[in-house]
Amino acid sequence: MLTSCYTSDNTAALLEHNSFNLKTRRKTMSQQEDDLRALAKIMDFLRAISIVLVVINIYWFCPELHPTQPDNFFQIVDKVLNGFDRSCHMFHSQYTAKWFALLLLALSCFGTRGVKNEDITWRTIWLFLGAGLVLYLMPKLHYTLYIMCTAAGVICLLMAGNWISRILRNNLMTDVFNNENESFQQETRKIDNKYSINLPTRFYYKKKWNDGWINVVNPFRATIVLGTPGSGKSYAVVNNFLKQQIEKGFALYCYDFKFADLSTIVYNHFLKHKKKYPEGAKFYVINFDDPKRSHRCNPIAPAFMTDIADAYESAYTIMLNLNKTWV
């Protein structure tokens, strides 16, 4: 036999160990939050650089925007940009800076976290992506039109990039909260025997709706139905149970809490399938709230008492119902 004893020293050591584990978990969570904030700042920085490159491209290739008498600020800007162009050849072509800005914009989009919008489809994404590329890479015809098309192209590309990132992230990651409303693969076969209860179902799996079955092949075992009020327990399960058991000739004892909802269903279905029952089978109602709508029953009839235990249980139940304080 193994025994374990805890002294005050053991208790103190256990509390110290739990406190250390709690501090470690908090430190890890804090580190993860710091990493996420740092990643968000990096993505914002990349997006800001891409927008700055687009603005510089517009300034370089739209001399109409340059002042006729530039002050010291514009002279310094022109000097810096000329030196940058000589070293990197960034502005030798109209599209060099734009392609570099597009690369940074794409990197910033794929690092963005966000909530997936269920209304966004790949068709919409490709539409915005194509329109954005056409507007973004449109050659200069007039400086006003060039600025408007470039700005509209950046906006469309940014929207399409964010949507692509969110869809890919939601599809590739484990969907903990089941945002896709997809369930697991369920039974699609109808397993029927002379006692079974078969409930039709419909479930969403692998991007399509499927027809399935809940097969209660052994109804003699206990079955429990759980659900909030108004969730459809009676409509989806209880009513089908009653109807199928009547169709297979079961003897039923139906406790109708909302009399006469279930009683009406049982009575009408019994009349419809009365041939499934032996000759002389009848339908009875015991209603203590309204005796006028009830059959008569003697719970202490001698025919029901097969031994002393039955008599004791009947007397005990009757006495408890006569005086509730004895319960």
- pLDDT tens, residue by residue, 92-120: 777 888 888 888 888 888 766 655 555 67
Residue 316 sits in the same domain as residue 209 = no
| 197 located within any domain | yes
Residue 67 sits in the same domain as residue 156 = yes
- pLDDT tens, residue by residue, 177-227: 565 566 788 899 999 999 999 999 998 887 788 999 999 999 988 889 999
- Distance of alpha carbon 42 from alpha carbon 111, whole angstroms: 9
- Distance of alpha carbon 160 from alpha carbon 320, whole angstroms: 73
List of residues 6+ apart from 320 with CB closer than 8 A: 326, 327
- pLDDT tens, residue by residue, 157-181: 888 888 888 777 665 555 555 655 6
* Distance between first and last Cα of the chain: 43
Residue 249 sits in the same domain as residue 231 = yes
Enter the DSSP assignment of 234: I
Domain, as residue range, for 154:
38-172
| 192 located within any domain | yes
- Distance of alpha carbon 189 from alpha carbon 89, whole angstroms: 68
Residue 243 sits in the same domain as residue 145 = no
Residue 56 sits in the same domain as residue 128 = yes
CB contact burial 266-291 (16+ within 10 A = b; e otherwise) = beebbeeeeeeeeeeeeeeeeeeeee
Which carries the bigger pLDDT value, residue 47 or residue 285?
285
Residue 245 sits in the same domain as residue 327 = no
- Report the number of distinct structural domains present in the chain: 4
| 132 located within any domain | yes
- Distance of alpha carbon 44 from alpha carbon 158, whole angstroms: 12
Residue 75 sits in the same domain as residue 96 = yes
Alpha-carbon dihedral of residues 235, 237, 240, 242, nearest 10 degrees?
Answer: -100
Which carries the bigger pLDDT value, residue 289 or residue 196?
196
Q: pTM (2 decimals)?
A: 0.45
